[in-house]
Structure formats: structure tokens, C-alpha cells
A = this chain, B = another copy of it.
């Protein structure tokens, strides 16, 4: 199985690295980071670059596609090269997946029409515009399409998907190896749980956060 993780300028690093760390431990799989051009691709903070080892053109038909989100997603919404590649890759993929605002790119490529999907909580409403049915769930399976909520949710998606592909026991082994026994010191990880004024602040400044 070939797993392609898509990079683009100003993606959010954990969106990509969460699923990579889990799905990359699928026995016999080849994981490859891809971008329009090979070489380092800067994440949103500017402080980190991940290497794209292959260009999109070099990986035309991966079995599993992961599209991360991040502030740079907005600029990709009209990037025909990426959207064409997503449509072509999806035509033969076994799984087409996203984390965070990566689902907006799948949606812009026309892949989520009529499908249940999720995204970063600040971007959830935007899925509507592309004919998808947004849900507030953390990980959403609709056929071969798997979308995850914001940033860190890609780890949960990776485990759920690994379980589907390789069985529960393998997924549990990877959970144990990565010691994924979360103990957040706060309980503010969703708009339902966080202090209301923080949610409001993000909503009013969401232009800054997501673009």
C-alpha cells in the first residue's frame, strides 16, 4: 500500500505528522510526502520545514491520500495542479482522507458532494458551500472518505483507519508503541468545552487564524 501525504506552503505540521506517525507503521506500506515540487515545504509558523521527497506528478495513484490543513489551505483552493491531482488520485485510491481544513481542499476538488465530513471547528460551516454535510464529530467515515477535525485529531483518525486496514490488534500495538494515552492538563479542546470567551475570540479573529 502506498500512502501519500500532501504538503503545501503554510500547512500545519501536526496535521500531517499525526497520521504519518500512526499510518506509517502499517506493515508493508510505503509512505511518501508529496508536494507540487520536491524539497523542503514550510509549515505555517515558518519555523519548520518538512521535505517533500516526490512531486505530485511522480505519485499519480497512491492507495491512501492524506491532505493536511493549515492557513495555507486558502491559497490552494484554486490551485488547479493540486485539485486535478486530488481528483486523479482519488479515482483509484482505496482511502481519501484529510485533517483539519484539508477537507476543504477535498471539497473544492468536488470529492465530498453529498458526503458527511468534518473539518477544524472554525471552518466547519464552509464545507456546506461545496455540498458536503458537515458534522461536529472528531473523525468521520463516509465510504472511503475519512475526514478529521482540527490539527491533533489526525492521530485519532490514523488509529481508527489503521484499525480498519490492519485490524484492531495492530492499531492497539501502534497506540501502545506511540504511548497514546492522552492526559491533557486542561479540558478546552473543543468549542463545547473551552471557556466561551476564548471560542468567541477565535470566531471573531478567524480570518487571521485560517487565512
A71 to chain B, nearest CB (A): 11
A33 to B179, CA, bound (A): 24
Decide if A168 is an interface residue (CB 8 Å cutoff): yes
Would B175 and A163 count as touching, CB distance under 8 A? no
Contact with B along A11-33 (1 / 0, CB 8 A): 01110011011001100001111
Decide: A163 near B186, CB < 8 A? Known: A17-B14, A20-B48.
yes
Would B13 and A21 count as touching, CB distance under 8 A? yes
Stretch at the interface among A57-65, A84-92, A105-113, A191-199: A191-199
Stoichiometry (number of copies) = 2
A 70-112 contacts with B by CB, 8 A: 100
Contact with B along A144-174 (1 / 0, CB 8 A): 0000011111011001100100001101110
How many A residues are at the interface, by size bracket? 35 or more
Further 4 A-B residue pairs, CB within 8 A, beyond A21-B152, A159-B185, A176-B198:
A47-B53, A152-B180, A153-B181, A169-B198
The answer, among B21, B138, B182, B188, for a CB contact under 8 Å with A12, is B21
Would A179 and B172 count as touching, CB distance under 8 A? no
A120 to chain B, nearest CB (A): 6
A77 to chain B, nearest CB (A): 21
A99 to chain B, nearest CB (A): 10
Contacts of A13 in B (CB 8 A): 17, 20-21
